């Protein structure tokens, strides 16, 4: 159990992560490093990830609920991707207990750089909502994306929300606001599934998780509120800023080995 000062910093990190994650994802790259620093040395990786998932599911629940009530996207369009994401996350958690995920950092770094370059060089990307496929084809592709990213989220996690938004914009033709709404529901499903599985194995630290979860939920509420008020153009700008920060963070981790 961390001391009062360390716990206060963890709560602050969770608040910021909830705000950022509700808009463009990437909250895990704030809370996971914070937990690595704040929890006692030698804390098992599944325990750290389980604590983080308990925190993350609170923020994504609040943000997804906010988007759902605002009708940013029809609820029926979320059902298939949510179920697919939960299935993928369960498989990812199963794998977490068996192998380490560090080898994914370089791959994640390359993906983020590609995402940033594509977004910067295509200013119109995600500004307009122009679905590229018929409804059934769109639902199938959304479910496939959710399955793959749900698996990644259960297995490793950081950057899942940003990847979901980018793929929903690039592949499906959604604007950034609707992509954020769908991404929050999908990310909620993967977080909730992973959290239940980790907690059922005793892989979490309850006092830390509860304190951080409260702060994350508050951050998620205000993040979703700001995203809905500002619209797709503003969300795109935050997306670029957050992905840039994630690239720097991952580059530092990869360089340090």
Question: Beta-carbon neighbour count of residue 64 at 10 Å?
Answer: 27
- Distance between CA atoms of 47 and 25, rounded to whole angstroms? 22
- Distance between CA atoms of 257 and 29, rounded to whole angstroms? 17
**Tokens describing residue 17:** 């992560």
Start-end of H helices in the chain: 4-24, 28-38, 45-69, 76-96, 104-121, 135-155, 160-170, 176-200, 206-230, 232-256
Q: Are 47 and 203 in contact (CB under 8 A)?
A: yes
- Distance between CA atoms of 17 and 56, rounded to whole angstroms? 9
pLDDT at site 4: 84
Sequence-ordered list of residues with C-beta below 8 angstroms from that of 193, at least 6 positions apart, any chain? 85, 86, 89, 90, 93, 150, 154
Mean pLDDT of each 10-residue bin along the chain, 257 residues long = 86 90 77 83 84 91 84 85 97 84 64 70 59 84 96 83 88 88 93 95 94 93 86 75 75 74
- Distance between CA atoms of 37 and 98, rounded to whole angstroms? 24
**Tokens describing residue 176:** 């950034």
- Distance between CA atoms of 106 and 153, rounded to whole angstroms? 16
Q: Are 13 and 34 in contact (CB under 8 A)?
A: yes
**Tokens describing residue 78:** 């979320």
pLDDT at site 82: 96
Question: What pTM does this model have?
Answer: 0.79
pLDDT at site 124: 56
pLDDT at site 202: 93
């Amino acid at each position: 159990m961390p001391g009062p000062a360390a716990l206060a910093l963890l709560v602050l990190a969770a608040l910021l992560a909830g705000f950022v994650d509700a808009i463009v994802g990437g909250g895990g790259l704030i809370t996971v490093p914070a937990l690595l620093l704040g929890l006692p040395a030698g804390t098992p990786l599944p325990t750290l990830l389980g604590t983080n998932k308990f925190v993350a599911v609170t923020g994504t629940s609040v943000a997804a609920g906010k988007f759902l009530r605002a009708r940013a996207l029809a609820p029926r369009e979320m059902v298939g991707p949510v179920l697919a994401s939960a299935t993928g996350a369960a498989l990812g958690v199963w794998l977490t207990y068996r192998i380490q995920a560090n080898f994914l950092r370089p791959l994640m770094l390359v993906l983020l750089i590609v995402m940033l370059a594509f977004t910067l060089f295509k200013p119109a990307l995600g500004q307009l909502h122009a679905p590229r496929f018929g409804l059934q084809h769109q639902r199938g592709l959304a479910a496939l994306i959710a399955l793959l990213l749900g698996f990644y989220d259960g297995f490793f996690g950081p950057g899942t929300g940003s990847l979901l938004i980018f793929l929903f914009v690039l592949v499906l033709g959604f604007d950034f606001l609707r992509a954020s709404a769908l991404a929050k529901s999908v990310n909620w499903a993967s977080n909730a599934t992973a959290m239940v599985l980790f907690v059922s194995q005793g892989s979490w630290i309850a006092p830390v998780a509860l304190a951080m979860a409260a702060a994350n939920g508050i951050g998620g509420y205000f993040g979703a509120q700001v995203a809905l008020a500002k619209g797709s153009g503003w969300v795109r700008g935050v997306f670029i800023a957050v992905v840039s920060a994630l690239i720097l963070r991952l580059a530092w981790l990869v360089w340090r080995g």
